[in-house]
Amino acid sequence: MTERTEPASEPSPPPRAFGQGVGTIFQVVGVMMFVAAMFVGCASAFISKETATKTWLVNVGWSRYSAQMAVTYSLIASVFFGITLATLGLGMQAQNRRTPLLAVIVTFLGMAFWFIQLVLFVDVHLLLMSAISAVLCVLFVILLGFALGAWMEMRRNPTPARFEILPADYKVPYSHMHQDPPEVRLERELEARRERLAVQQKELQLLEEKLRRKMKEKES
């Protein structure tokens, strides 16, 4: 009779895996937004002052919020939201309890900000800035959805208390490849070699004794 082998159960995903994945997304988006904003700010030095400042934008826009102010605030906000998203991504990967809720708040504020910018730029007929604002507004809507999912996951399965504190007996690894430094590994290898040599020496002694007994039997 053949025995029935039960199929191996699939390993369950780690707790709060979705939130950690969202943290990776936030990190990538945040770094890309920060680098892009810094590149735009630095690259403006290669063009003329009149083209970079565009003083005529002061006369268009809303009463106390001109298009020139909107462009300036957009660049500042890109740097701010880029750093904030990357920081929140690190917090979600570390499974901090408060980070998903902060991510929801930040992404909602970002969505609202870029929506206001989009309305203004469309009103003053700045096509490039309107397109950038629309893309960023949609991006923050998507990030808000991810943040809400991570927040609900954290509420269902919160991290234990004092989760981020390492235990007293925790040993800091030497590197990501080895737990111990080279000296400790070499000492452990030498000890293992000594044990193997001791076993081989014992085997040789037994063989020598066996050979002596056979020689004595032949002589007798």
Q: Domain limits at 78?
A: 17-156
Q: Is 7 inside a domain boundary?
A: no
- Separation CA 175–CA 185 (nearest Å): 13
**Would you say 14 and 93 are in contact if contact means Cβ atoms under 8 Å apart?**
no
- Separation CA 179–CA 170 (nearest Å): 12
Which of 128, 156, 184 terminates a domain? The answer is: 156
Q: Is 75 inside a domain boundary?
A: yes
DSSP code at position 170: -
Judgement on whether residues 182 and 147 belong to the same structural domain of the protein: no
- Separation CA 134–CA 129 (nearest Å): 8
Assign 3-state DSSP to the chain and report helix, strand, coil percentages, each to 5: 75, 0, 25
Q: What is the pLDDT of residue 99?
A: 92
Q: Is 86 inside a domain boundary?
A: yes
Residue 41 CB contacts under 8 Å (≥ 6 apart), including other chains: 75, 79
Averaged pLDDT, groups of 10, the chain, 220 residues long: 50 74 94 91 69 60 79 91 95 88 96 94 87 95 95 86 69 72 84 92 90 82
Judgement on whether residues 124 and 218 belong to the same structural domain of the protein: no
At what angle are helices 127-156 and 99-123 packed, to 10 degrees?
A: 160
Judgement on whether residues 83 and 142 belong to the same structural domain of the protein: yes
Domain total for the chain?
Answer: 2
CA neighbor of 88 nearest in space, from 187, 22, 161: 22
Judgement on whether residues 129 and 28 belong to the same structural domain of the protein: yes
Judgement on whether residues 179 and 120 belong to the same structural domain of the protein: no
Judgement on whether residues 30 and 126 belong to the same structural domain of the protein: yes
Q: Is 80 inside a domain boundary?
A: yes
Judgement on whether residues 32 and 131 belong to the same structural domain of the protein: yes
Judgement on whether residues 178 and 134 belong to the same structural domain of the protein: no
Q: What is the pLDDT of residue 117?
A: 92
Q: Is 93 inside a domain boundary?
A: yes
Q: Is 117 inside a domain boundary?
A: yes
Q: Quick one: 89 exposed, middle or buried, by C-beta within 10 A (0-12, 13-18, 19+)?
A: buried
Q: What is the pLDDT of residue 148?
A: 95
Does the pTM of the predicted model rise above 0.75? no
Q: Is 179 inside a domain boundary?
A: yes
Judgement on whether residues 133 and 199 belong to the same structural domain of the protein: no
Q: What is the pLDDT of residue 50?
A: 64
The structure tokens listed for 177 are 């490849």
Q: Is 5 inside a domain boundary?
A: no
Judgement on whether residues 110 and 149 belong to the same structural domain of the protein: yes
The structure tokens listed for 7 are 């199929």
